């Protein structure tokens, strides 16, 4: 003879299942952006200035073109104290991980001149990077450097970076459709309605 389960126990079980479903399906809280996204070792320019933060993947052709088009101007403006530039490099695979490591290991004054070259060399493989930047290799395999590369990937996960480049303008995520306009503005360029620079 089986015992009947009292109604109140069914209600408790149903309530628990409903609560679990609500927790699982509840919208995620707002992304923790603001100045936290700007705190990074690969930054240039005064911390008091508004920042352009660029999440960039070494294997991304859009990122490489954006750097070729605007990177030099961003760096010049940051060096002049007009803005703060933060680069958050993302690596997938050994060659790209080495590219990030080499950037962290380079002397601070040389890092920004290396970015374009690293985009090019990361696509050519690990051996090319090793040959070009041999003096930096001992540092590139160090624990602190590897921790920073892992922190970049964790930051991309935390801030839900689903495509590259992903931009944050003064701590706020830039919509994908506005990126070109925002990149040009931070480079000190004005875009016409046809997309030509002035």
Domain boundaries, the chain: 41-186
Superfamily of domain 41-186: Glutaredoxin (3.40.30.10)
pTM for this prediction: 0.77
CB 56 within 8 A of CB 63: yes
The 3-state secondary structure of 64-106 reads: HHHHHHHHHHHHHHHHCCCCEEEEEEECCCHHHHHHHHHHHHC
Identify the band that residue 198 occupies on the pLDDT scale cut at 50, 70 and 90.
very low
Q: Note the pLDDT tens digit of each residue in 42-98.
A: 999 998 888 999 999 999 999 999 999 999 999 999 999 999 999 999 998 899 999
| Residue from 33, 23, 51 nearest 182 by CA | 51
């Amino acid at each position: 003879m089986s015992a009947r389960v009292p109604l109140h126990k069914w209600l408790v079980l149903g309530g628990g299942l409903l609560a679990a479903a609500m927790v699982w399906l509840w919208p995620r809280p707002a992304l923790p952006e603001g100045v936290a996204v700007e705190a990074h070792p690969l930054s240039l320019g005064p911390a008091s200035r508004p920042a352009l933060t660029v999440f960039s993947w070494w294997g991304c052709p859009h990122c490489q073109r954006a750097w070729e088009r605007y990177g030099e101007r961003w760096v010049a403006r940051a060096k002049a104290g007009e803005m703060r530039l933060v680069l958050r490099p993302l690596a997938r695979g050994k060659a790209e991980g080495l590219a990030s490591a080499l950037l962290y290991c380079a002397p601070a004054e040389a890092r920004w001149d290396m970015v374009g070259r690293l985009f090019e060399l990361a696509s050519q493989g690990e051996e090319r990077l090793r040959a070009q930047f041999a003096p930096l290799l001992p540092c590139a395999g160090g624990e602190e450097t590897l921790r920073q590369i892992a922190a970049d990937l964790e930051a991309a996960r935390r801030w839900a970076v689903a495509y590259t480049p992903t931009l944050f303008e003064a701590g706020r995520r830039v919509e994908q459709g506005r990126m070109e306009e925002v990149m040009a503005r931070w480079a000190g360029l004005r875009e016409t309605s046809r997309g030509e620079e002035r």
